Homo-oligomer: A and B are copies of this chain.
Amino acid sequence: MNKDHAITLYDLILASGITLSPFVWRVKLAILHKGFKLNAVPTSYMQIKTILDGSHTRLPVIVDGETVVSDSLAIADYLDRAYPDRPSLFRSPGERNFALFLDGWMFQNVVRHWFSCYCLDQVHLSCPEDVEYIRESRERLFLQGRPMEEVVADREQRLMAVRPNLEPLRMLLKDTRWFAGDEPDHIDYLMLSHFLWCASLATFPPLARDDPLFDWINRGFDLFGGIGRDDRLHPLS
């Protein structure tokens, strides 16, 4: 494989073309961390069934030569297994467990609250062919059938109330530059993916301007030529 080796990633996007899915964001970061070129194929929810052999129902999916891999964690494992001589995504099994634990913690304590604040933004920002599906499926699966307009009504107060939940991350980042130590790896990408997802939707910012988390967020958004510095992303404060 030469250094111009590109990996194709089916990217789940909003109407603007920016990536939505946190699971795709982390795979983008992973591919770039391994030093590959990224060949992103913009895909809407409705287009997923049209890609490759038509068997896929979720993204991300990558194609690397003859190899097709789906599921963001399986993709990270594949990249480390197939390319052990390139920078590791997980430097030990303990790091992989950290990433899984943090990811679950982040969904439980932060992301599910943010979702209930930004679900209507997703409807407004989605690709036209996705709008009806997004509204119907999200209200049914995640919002107990409540209309999104009702769910987001008091979001400014609820976003304020979520801020203290991030305190364990602020505490940890007082004494370490990245979650992975001196240099980022997939632990950081996985956490950054949640903030990138949030920035893709947040028409009202979730964080205070002086949140100490921005030291890490800003360094993360600057990675790989500024992956989080896209005009189509919304400010987080």
Contact = CB atoms under 8 A, between A and B. Distances in A.
B180 A94 contact: yes
A67 interface: no
A172 interface: yes
A118 interface: no
Interface string A175-201: 110011110010100000000000000
Interface in A56-71: none
A94 B182 CA distance: 9
A168 interface: yes
Interface in A74-101: 91-98, 100-101
A171 interface: yes
Contacts of A91: 91-92, 94
Given A91-B92, A92-B92, A97 B181 contact: yes
A145 interface: no
A97 B171 contact: no
B104 A180 contact: no
Nearest to A173: B97
Contacts of A101: 98, 101-102, 168, 172
A191 B53 CA distance: 46
A224 interface: no
A185 B94 contact: yes
A179 B97 contact: yes
A215 B102 CA distance: 22
22 contacts: A92-B94, A92-B95, A92-B181, A93-B176, A93-B181, A94-B180, A94-B181, A94-B187, A95-B98, A97-B98, A97-B172, A97-B179, A97-B181, A97-B187, A98-B101, A100-B172, A100-B175, A101-B102, A101-B168, A104-B168, A104-B172, A105-B168
